[in-house]
Amino acid sequence: MKTLLLRLLWFSYFCYDYLSCIPSFKRIRDIDSKLSIKLSNYLRANKTKTNIVIFACYEKDLKDDYINYFISKLKDCQLIIINNSNENKPSISEVGKRVVWINRPNFSRDIGAYRLGISACKRSKLKPSDTITLTNDSFFVLKDSFFDFLVSPLQSEVIGHSFSSSPEPHIRSYCLRFNPKILDKLAIYLARIKPLRSRYSAIIQGEIGMSKNVLLKRDFRIRLLHSPVESIKKQRINNTSGDFILDPYEISQTTTTYMPEIIKREVVEKGLAKSKLVASMVSQSSLPNNVKNSILHRMLIDKTKKNLAYRFKRFIGEI
């Protein structure tokens, strides 16, 4: 009963957000369309790498220690960084031979950034041998071996980092690789999603919707790196075990001697892991010291003003 009530409240907030965003629909779509055209022109003229990484982030810049670390590790990739910002200053610029930086309004969150990048990739007529990776700043890399995932040959049409069966079966969108065969159907589906601000839209229509309407609906060959086998048998997905936990959200079940490849940004905030455990893992990681300090500051020092509105959004799942 409580779960049903929370879903109803969350959906109600989504409806409120939908109505408040209607006046912005055309403006946001026009901005994303113009940025997509510019990005596709850039890719046609300058793309030298076969692995394209679309990295979605929120309110970041090139002064960010972790962003610079991430860029340094992807020398064999064409990196497209799409920064969702509350400032209404859309732009696109080349910040390196293989790195493009885009600022766009923060509508549709990571899904909006993915939609823009996928649209540009579709326009640029990629080769069948190219690969596209969707990833974002909802997690931090702790082991350099993670980056092998972004450049290794694709043995399936889709490779997901992990899978969830809640609230519906879906491949998590924080790290997802696929070949150009997926582009058309994925672009068509994402174009149908309205540019909203709510997390409900990004999760239900975006992350879960991509799996429900495209990835799991079609006869694509899908492989997962981590997920409980029993939860994916019905989805015709091949599971490949690695040297880390099945689910990045199960970190609380591990010990301080265990080192995952990645750590989700909100595990402490959401009560999924103790601060001491997280501090130990980050401190023992292979990251440079300045990056370690930056991550620990973000994960363990909460400066959010927890007013009534914040607490309500957290309660219903909007945060």
Domains of the chain: 2-239 (3.90.550), 248-316 (no CATH)
pLDDT in tens, 196-227: 999 999 999 999 999 999 998 877 888 887 65
Q: Strand pairing of 222-226 and 99-105?
A: unpaired
Q: Cis ω on the peptide bond leading into residue 167 (within 30° of 0)?
A: yes
Lowest mean pLDDT among 9-13, 82-86, 167-171, 238-242: 238-242
Closest CA to 291 of 16, 67, 4: 67
Whole-number pLDDT of residue 240: 45
pLDDT band at 293 (very low <50, low <70, confident <90, very high): very high
Q: Which two tokens stand for residue 130?
A: 């190219």
Q: Which two tokens stand for residue 239?
A: 């599971």
Whole-number pLDDT of residue 253: 53
Whole-number pLDDT of residue 132: 95
Closest CA to 95 of 131, 63, 59, 143: 63
Q: Which two tokens stand for residue 279?
A: 């501090």
Give the C-alpha separation, 249 to 161, whole Å. 12
* H or E stretch at 52: strand 51-58
Give the C-alpha separation, 248 to 261, whole Å. 9
Give the C-alpha separation, 283 to 239, whole Å. 30
Q: Specify which of 64-73, 256-265, 301-310 reaches the highest per-range mean pLDDT.
A: 64-73
Task: Confirm if 59 and 84 have CB atoms less than 8 A apart.
Answer: yes
Give the C-alpha separation, 77 to 87, whole Å. 28
What SS3 class is residue 26?
helix
pLDDT in tens, 37-58: 999 999 988 877 889 999 999 9
What SS3 class is residue 240?
coil
Q: Strand pairing of 78-85 and 99-105?
A: parallel
Query: How far apart are the two ends of the chain, measured CA to CA in Å?
Result: 21
Whole-number pLDDT of residue 153: 83
The pLDDT of residue 194 is above 80: yes
Q: Over pLDDT 70: what percentage of the chain?
A: 87
Residue 80 burial by Cβ neighbours in a 10 Å radius (0-12, 13-18, 19+): buried
Q: Over pLDDT 90: what percentage of the chain?
A: 51
Give the C-alpha separation, 304 to 289, whole Å. 25
Q: Strand pairing of 78-85 and 51-58?
A: parallel
Q: Which two tokens stand for residue 129?
A: 């041998």
- Alpha carbon 297 to its chain's center: 21
Closest CA to 79 of 68, 90, 65, 89: 68
Q: How many Cβ atoms sit within 10 Å of the Cβ of residue 13?
A: 18
Closest CA to 200 of 21, 1, 56, 60: 21
Give the C-alpha separation, 56 to 36, whole Å. 14
Give the C-alpha separation, 210 to 195, whole Å. 16
Q: Model's pTM, two decimal places?
A: 0.90
